[in-house]
Amino acid sequence: MPDTESGLSADYLARLEEITLKVYEGRSTLQIEKGITAEEMETVYSHGYTLFQGGRSDDALAIFQYLALHDPLEPKYFTAVAACLEERHDYEAAARHYLQALVLSKKDPMPGYRGALCLRAVGKLEEAEGLLHLAIEHTVDSPENDPIKQQAAILRDELAAITNSSAN
């Protein structure tokens, strides 16, 4: 029986407050608190990916946002959200999500490169240049990262030349 003005039990509200505090303090995630397994998350991700590949980026976006909310430490969820936003031409929001993925991973320079392309699309060349710097300098050096880091360096140099020539 409800024992508060809201109609919710005091035990329920206490548990909700406890979960909220743990998530807010970074001691847990909604995925953990709800008991969602990694396999279940991967199944949901695969469904979202299939939707995205099938041209249903709006439907995929909702799925990827759900995943990012439930596990805000997984970079691939933010990359997926960003890809959907980029597909919708919401370039600034896409760049923010690519940046989040880059910060969380530090292994893959691709989110930084894609984010820079988004920023370039809206004319934010200096910000794009900064994101490329992060992608190049703050991700793991590895043979699989070399091609994208080379592309990022070329784009960074092109943007630097544009911003330097417009400053003169």
Run of H or E including 75: helix 75-87
- 83-132 per-position pLDDT tens digit: 999 999 999 999 999 999 999 988 899 999 999 999 999 999 999 999 99
- 63-78 per-position pLDDT tens digit: 999 999 999 999 999 9
Pick the CATH number of 11-73 from 3.40.50.300, 1.25.40.10, 3.90.1300.10, 3.90.1150.10: 1.25.40.10
- 26-42 per-position pLDDT tens digit: 788 888 888 999 999 99
Q: What is the pLDDT of residue 14?
A: 84
108 half-sphere exposure, CB direction, 13 A CA radius: 16
Show me where the domains of the chain are located: 11-73, 94-168
- Interatomic CA distance for residues 26 and 81, integer angstroms: 21
Q: What is the pLDDT of residue 139?
A: 85
- Interatomic CA distance for residues 69 and 36, integer angstroms: 13
Would you say residue 21 has pLDDT above 90?
no
Kindly indicate the confidence band of residue 152, based on its pLDDT and cuts at 50, 70 and 90.
Answer: very high
41 C-beta neighbours (distance < 10 Å), count = 17
**Mean pLDDT for the chain overall:** 90
Q: What is the DSSP letter of 74?
A: -
Place of tokens 């109609």: 7
